Structure 1
Amino acid sequence: MTSRASGGPPDEFLEYRLVRLASRLERRFAATLAPTGLSPRQFSVLAVLTESPGVTSAELARAVLTTPQSMGALLDQMESRGLVERTAERGRGRAAPIRVTDAGAALLREAYRLVDALDGATRQRLGERDHQQLTRLLAVLEGHVGED
């Protein structure tokens, strides 16, 4: 292995490889979701809202790795598509409860079907043991990186 001080191939840096892989995987994930019209972030929003009803917009933003400002715009888009609804009048300093509509839940079920097929293909290529090990190691790494 080359000394880090003298450079060397960037593929020797774990973070570099993960960033490259994340970019490829995000494109593949987006392509998988394309038939639903959902972006990966919209999919995440629907999934989090379904799994954690009653989360605030700020909590939702943290869960899907976006800013509160971006979350507001994203929720506006999703609300205009009829996928989510904010059930109380919004006001400065007041959290508006957000819920997945029936249309959003139906679209999420379709998205889960597509994502499950994608994950199944990856699981088949890796093998069950390696898939579980990689999933576990990524969770450990994610826990060490934490939130920025």
Structure 2
Amino acid sequence: MDDTRIEKRVGVQATSDRIWDLVADLSGWGAWNPVDADVEGAIAYGGRLTMNEAWPDMAERQALAQVVEWQPRVRLVWAERRGFLFQSLRYIQIEELGPGNCILTAGIRFSGLRGELFHDKHRPAIRQAQEAIVEGLKAAAEAG
């Protein structure tokens, strides 16, 4: 099967602190993230996150995830077991190139046979969603 990862990268004219402040404000995700709404939880190792996930052209669903890695101003990674043979790993990564200049990446990886099949079936919608996430976060970071 093809690579089961979809990610989008974009340059952002903002500090890593500014971008991280937006990422760390879970309740504010709805202002820049068109996929994940009503995000609650804790950014901590093993921290639980809940959110309403609405991928383009798919029904909205409640997602229950766990933070598996995080580093302030660098990355947030959360995983979800979505059923038998279906796991997803989502991430936001910030790479600071210089003062006020960063590369922002949003991505998702699917594993397990059912995860790979889901990826193959919904690849265009997921790609569109990842682009919307980074563009929304970029706009919010550059605006403030």
TM-score w.r.t. length of structure 1:
0.30
Q: Of Structure 1 and Structure 2, which has the larger fraction of its residues in helix?
A: 1
Higher relative contact order (CA 8 A, sep 6+): 2
TM-score w.r.t. length of structure 2:
0.31
- Looking at CA atoms only, which structure, 1 or 2, has the larger radius of gyration? 1
Q: Of Structure 1 and Structure 2, which has the larger fraction of its residues in strand?
A: 2
